[in-house]
Structure 1
Amino acid sequence: MTEKEDFLVQKAYEEIEKYKVQVEKDPYRLNYHLMPPVGLLNDPNGLVQYKGTYHVFYQWNPFDTAHGAKFWGHYSTRNMVHWREEPIALAPSEWYERNGCYSGSAVEWEGKLYLFYTGNVKLDDGTRETYQCVAVSRDGVHFEKKGPFLKLPEGYTAHFRDPKVWWKNGCWYMVIGAQTVDGKGAAVLFSSEDMLSWRELGRIAGEGMNGLSEFGYMWECPDLICLDGKDVLLVSPQGLDPSGHFYHNLFQSGYFVGALDYESAHFRHGPFTEIDRGFDFYAPQTFVDDKGRTILYGWMGITDENESYQPTLAHRWVHALTLPRELSLHGDKVYQRPLDELCSLRKDRVDYKNVELTGTGTQFNGVEGSSVELRLDDIKVESGGFRIRFRREAELFYDCDKREMSLIRKNFKTGEPERRTCALSSLSQLTIFMDNSSLEIFVNEGEEVFTARYFPSLRDETITFYGRAFFNLAKWDLDKLKIERNNAQRGVL
């Protein structure tokens, strides 16, 4: 570790200690989600299972609740329930990353763990430079930076970042999110035999390809995965205009399903599909574990005009990661379901069988709380609509006449209702995770998902049901994640 890197790391640990009590006293602090110990969290990075341990890195600004020069924070676990806060993985200490160690990925090779990331540099004249960089570890905890391995290719602006690396057919491949010199978003493919020298194979998706018309000015956080024999390109495009029920967040996240010809670098794909229909979801990344599961984390937040109005800022922290979700493909639709390991957090089950709602607001004894899981099965809605109101601050509404599902919450800035809506041919099942200040709603076993932060009254733990409907209902309280915090590793006594 260089002297400057050691200085930045120690300053970050001092910031954690300085605000530790203030952060932990926040009643909106989440129970079963990964959060920053202080400051701002955004993109999940470097998701990997290495030597049997799951590693989750994340973009992190420890010094402010706004965006700035990013570090990589680091958590690890062997079971997704008992976590360890590891030492800081990356700090922006070198010339090629002085304004931030931006997003990237991780792979294991020959017993070592490799972190690929983007070094961000902002020059005094307002221009930007970008470098794709790598750091290496023998134990998955302590990393040695090897510096840049790829400079900016011709044809792109310095908005060229977020390398995702994987092994396929005896070769390493990497996809990077990009902006072309004419201001169009794209995903660019590279290959390498030794992870040191990389060859540009070309753009695999972007405006003007596969019939795609104008589609944003920058594509972030690309991720190419294989589900059910098909190639799925996850990407987060910036600059899409709202259209019907689509693209109502400032930035979007979604996917294209198709087939990538690795020899010709041609990706034939279908239309773009949003992967989450809520308010607070961006920059998802996946990895495959030793059980063969493709697991996704997303950033449960977004950069928009409401970001600075979240009440957690008063307690010196903001944002979290989503729950881990297992992905599957049904036709050309990606389904998401909460990881099975989360069931071990359940306690104090409450059941109601063959519920018949009569239209008025109904609250069930024992079905309340701020940190709970709800499961509704065999749902049948007779007519009109079916609603669930969460702590009088947010509401899920299924309109069976229009065949639409909506999530409504109060805007952080104005306090006025705002909604996100998607088409839904029918409603048969719901799994709902409520944390102290978040909602993750899985519709029809993950056909659609709504993710949102919300900030209800701390005294209100009511859950109220409305409409004419039939269903079976189960509710569990959920325990906190167990996180081991090693102050000795921080160098703070």
Structure 2
Amino acid sequence: MRQSANELKKRALKKVVDRKEIVARDPYRLHFHIMPPVGLLNDPNGFVFYKGQYHMFYQWNPFQTEHGAKFWGHVISEDLVHWKEAQIALAPDQWYDKNGCYSGSAVVFRETLYVFYTGNVKNEQGDRESYQCLAVSKDGIHFEKRGPVIHVPTGYTAHFRDPKVFEKNGRWYMVLGAQTEGMQGEVVLYMSTDLENWSFQGTLAGSGRHGLVDFGYMWECPDLFELGGKDILLACPQGLPPEGFQFNNTFQSGYISGKVDYETVSFQHDAFVELDRGFDFYAPQTTLGASGRRILVGWMGNAEEEGTIQPTVQHEWIHALTVPRELEWKDSKLLQRPIAELQLLREDEIQYSDVAVREKAVMLPRVNSQVFELVIEVEDFDATVLSVELGGKTSFHYNANTKVCTLKRGKFSSEGIESRHCVLENLDSIQILKDTSSVEIFINNGEEVFTSRVFDKLEADQVRFTSEDGCVMLHVRKWNLKRVIDY
């Protein structure tokens, strides 16, 4: 017998209470990132500014550190930094979402919050069914489900999900991730005038279209917005083979940019570009902030099957979201920077000017800790390689000869080091946010980003700077960062 929403939510809350001490004892709990109170977190959902507050929902399995029938967890903030838990928003209690309230988005219309999500169903034969569903709220806390508003159209498999809704020219539009019956990944477009009745408009982008030859068997988590005069489509193609430094994770996350014609449902766009070069970044979602900024948050994970080897599962939780990032379109590239509000966490500032880094390691007094922000400005680069060792097995490197940036970390499941790379013409600055078991590295004011979970020994390791074949002059600033997440 299917359980009611109240029964499911009570079970989830009991799990939170029963495991609270076990979770809290984990030294790898993060200080300023959104995490699950217990269980597994994945995609950010319904990121929206509503009635003076930011609402962030997320995919949540409270009962296991594995994927399963997902709820929508919910946190609220006034400044994108200090987040507080709210009531569980959605539970998988209806025939159309009984195997999971999957990812989606939220918009505000006439003071009402409209939430769209994918209802995941396994039928009696074990086959997947999917429905695009609507729930509404007058207060941002309590939600009334309205049921399916879109069924899978002809020509597509049940891998049809992740609705992202937005307004354009007085109409509502929805982009959806899809898989054709020919096993090609696409993003499709729907249109509505009232948010309840939707019409299929056609395929916007995908594998085999506009130069993207054989580009994945499924595209997940689309997000379409305009920034700096460009239409930008975020998407997560599945099934891309590695190409040199590109596409080295299990699934990929990136964007294409160009111009959308909503009347003909066509998108003239440039090549696909990865959003993040690290190990753990997927399913990003954006919203318009109160001041008009385009703000992005991603899942600090990547659907790795072996993800449960992360040491946090011993304390019955896994995964987190990235810090919010402001987006800018500049010089034909999408830049990502930590939102300015994160500076509220800074304390105990330390500065060092004219730091000469040569082959012998430079260790600056008090530039250590497991939770910090480090800003490194390159004043003169007269060497082959600059290395920044963050403690344990985590380090960042730039080779001026090959123009290659590299992030290294210790493997989770075995001994040894693994790496991710990108090509960068020059190195001007490095901004590092370190939070016990996560690291986010922003290069050249957001030109490239590396996001990863890292599980080094939890000691106040000294940051070490070294160079090869010459000297690099640096200006270094470091702050400790306050703890603001307490669940």
State the TM-score bracket (shorter-chain normalisation).
Answer: over 0.9
Supply the distance in 2 between the matched residues of 1:360 and 1:31 (Cα, whole angstroms).
Answer: 33
SS in 2 for 1:258: strand
Supply the distance in 1 between the matched residues of 2:92 and 2:298 (Cα, whole angstroms).
Answer: 23
Question: Would you say the 8 A contact 2:220–2:236 is kept in 1?
Answer: yes
SS in 2 for 1:10: helix
Aligned to 1:77: 77
Question: Would you say the 8 A contact 2:397–2:407 is kept in 1?
Answer: yes
Q: Are 1:453 and 2:453 an aligned pair?
A: yes
Q: What displacement does 1:124 show? A: 3.0
Q: What displacement does 1:382 show? A: 1.3
Aligned to 2:310: 310
Computed over aligned residues only, the root mean square deviation of the Cα atoms, in angstroms, reads: 1.1
Q: C-alpha deviations, 1:367-414, integer Å up to 9, x for none?
A: 000000000113432122100111122110101110110001111112
Aligned to 2:351: 351
Aligned partner (choices 454, 478, 481) of residue 475 of structure 1? 478
Residue identity in the other structure for 2:135 = A
Q: What displacement does 1:81 show? A: 2.6
Aligned to 1:391: 391
Question: Would you say the 8 A contact 2:30–2:485 is kept in 1?
Answer: no
Q: Are 1:162 and 2:165 an aligned pair?
A: no
Q: Are 1:12 and 2:15 an aligned pair?
A: no
Residue identity in the other structure for 2:175 = V
Question: Would you say the 8 A contact 1:384–1:401 is kept in 2?
Answer: yes
Aligned to 2:439: 439
Aligned to 2:403: 403
Aligned to 1:490: none
Residue identity in the other structure for 1:474 = R
Number of aligned residue pairs: 483
Aligned to 2:334: 334
Call closer, same or farther: CA 1:30–1:214 in 2, change over 3 Å.
Answer: same
Q: Are 1:252 and 2:252 an aligned pair?
A: yes
Supply the distance in 2 between the matched residues of 1:450 and 1:263 (Cα, whole angstroms).
Answer: 37
Question: Would you say the 8 A contact 1:379–1:429 is kept in 2?
Answer: no
Residue identity in the other structure for 2:478 = K
Supply the distance in 2 between the matched residues of 1:482 and 1:316 (Cα, whole angstroms).
Answer: 17
Residue identity in the other structure for 1:367 = V
SS in 2 for 1:306: helix
Aligned to 1:42: 42
Question: Which runs of no fewer than 5 residues in structure 1 stay unpaired?
Answer: 486-493
Q: What displacement does 1:415 show? A: 2.4
Aligned to 1:213: 213
SS in 2 for 1:452: strand
5 Å-filtered alignment, 1:186-335, equals 186-335=186-335
Supply the distance in 1 between the matched residues of 2:417 and 2:247 (Cα, whole angstroms).
Answer: 18
SS in 1 for 2:15: helix
Aligned to 2:465: 465
Per mean C-alpha deviation after superposition, the further-off stretch among 411-420 and 70-79 is: 411-420
Question: Which runs of no fewer than 5 residues in structure 2 stay unpaired?
Answer: none
Q: C-alpha deviations, 1:276-303, integer Å up to 9, x for none?
A: 0000000000000120100000000111
Q: What displacement does 1:460 show? A: 4.7
Supply the distance in 1 between the matched residues of 2:199 and 2:465 (Cα, whole angstroms).
Answer: 57
Q: What displacement does 1:332 show? A: 2.2
Q: What displacement does 1:259 show? A: 0.4
Question: Would you say the 8 A contact 1:278–1:450 is kept in 2?
Answer: yes
Question: Would you say the 8 A contact 1:379–1:427 is kept in 2?
Answer: no
Question: Would you say the 8 A contact 2:410–2:456 is kept in 1?
Answer: no
Aligned to 1:181: 181
Residue identity in the other structure for 2:412 = F
Q: Give the TM-score normalised by the residue count of structure 2.
A: 0.98
Residue identity in the other structure for 1:481 = V
Residue identity in the other structure for 1:473 = V
Q: What displacement does 1:416 show? A: 1.6
Percent of residue pairs identical: 49
Residue identity in the other structure for 2:7 = F
Residue identity in the other structure for 1:345 = L
SS in 2 for 1:9: helix
Q: C-alpha deviations, 1:171-216, integer Å up to 9, x for none?
A: 0000000000010100000101111111111001012211210101
Aligned to 2:150: 150
Per mean C-alpha deviation after superposition, the further-off stretch among 219-228 and 200-209 is: 200-209
SS in 2 for 1:320: coil
Per mean C-alpha deviation after superposition, the further-off stretch among 370-379 and 180-189 is: 370-379
Aligned to 1:419: 419
SS in 2 for 1:361: coil
Aligned to 2:363: 363
Question: Would you say the 8 A contact 2:219–2:238 is kept in 1?
Answer: yes
Q: C-alpha deviations, 1:431-466, integer Å up to 9, x for none?
A: 100010000000000000000000011235221111
Q: C-alpha deviations, 1:59-94, integer Å up to 9, x for none?
A: 000000000000000000111233220000000000
